[in-house]
Structure 1
């Protein structure tokens, strides 16, 4: 009996929890996902020494840049996109359709392609006081993104009080599994 693995595009931006992305990839693989890892340009710079290891782990190129016109797609088609950690900048750019970053562009296009999406921010309480942040979350939710923020999701901490090892990655992978079961 052959089982089909669901393809998970795991996208991360430059917030401290992204430094533990290899553990998240392994957890997703243990749940049966074929993981394709995409990063914002800054997250890719943070993880530069680990990119070759991450490519071996996923079996796919780690992407942070758009492909050139005419180049074939390097990844299989996504069954679900999980965007975490999503920074203040990433959340706002995505909601506004500002697609300078590869992962934001894929996520924005994924809305139009009806690819199920799960997102969880990683921002501090000072950022969330900016009115655009709540607007952006509302906009993404209105476009069908499951946004894990607040009760039952990510709860912001005070500036400088973050604990990256406490980031609730499990919630993102649980939600991605739920989407694939639906």
Structure 2
């Protein structure tokens, strides 16, 4: 449950897709619904022009994160009450389902399952990639983990505000994990 003296905190994981430039719409909608927001971007999304980092930082009041903390650095975000992945790419979804945590974004997603927080995803995957059997298997595995999916979208008219409907209201966040090991401590990627 969210601490009474702070706003519920939403992690938004942004992947390198053309629609990523519109993530400000999601941030604005989340703020209107009472969420504080922190953005974690894949390295390509953060450094190859998919996001206007200064604009996103102005909207959230926090730095966009694309790398893990160095030893001794303070945690820039509180623990999440929910996580949204939007847009979610073929690469990120397949790596996440396989448990690969080779970036901060993927490590955060792998850890979120163990935290038991609601996780929502808006895929942005073309038809040719979506036809790949590994992708279908990855979606099945993530759904079995309790991940909630919105309708796949292209780069136009991305359903940003609808993504918020995939995660529990702030008062309902912080449930216990429904599956998975609880005796193994999670890797601290934040």
Band of TM-score, shorter chain: 0.7 to 0.9
Whether the 8 Å CA contact 1:116–1:179 is kept in 2: the answer is no
SS state of the match for residue 62, structure 2?
coil
- Structure 2: distance between partners of 1:4 and 1:70: 24
Q: Normalising by the residue count of structure 2, what TM-score does the alignment of the two structures yield?
A: 0.81
Whether the 8 Å CA contact 1:154–1:168 is kept in 2: the answer is no
Q: Which residue of structure 1 aligns with residue 128 of structure 2?
A: 126
Bigger helix share: 1
Q: Which residue of structure 2 aligns with residue 159 of structure 1?
A: none
Aligned length: 169
Q: Normalising by the residue count of structure 1, what TM-score does the alignment of the two structures yield?
A: 0.85
Whether the 8 Å CA contact 2:12–2:37 is kept in 1: the answer is yes
- Structure 1: distance between partners of 2:5 and 2:78: 16
Whether the 8 Å CA contact 2:89–2:125 is kept in 1: the answer is yes
Q: Deviations over 1:65-124 (max 9, x none)?
A: 111133221101110000111100000000001111211110101111112111121001
- Tell me the C-alpha RMSD between the 2 structures: 1.9
1:54 matched to 2:45? The reply is: no
**Consecutive aligned runs of 4 or more in structure 1 exceeding 6 Å deviation:** none
Q: For 1:172, which of 151, 163, 178 is the aligned residue?
A: 163
Identify the structure with bigger relative contact order (alpha carbons < 8 Å, sequence gap 6+).
2
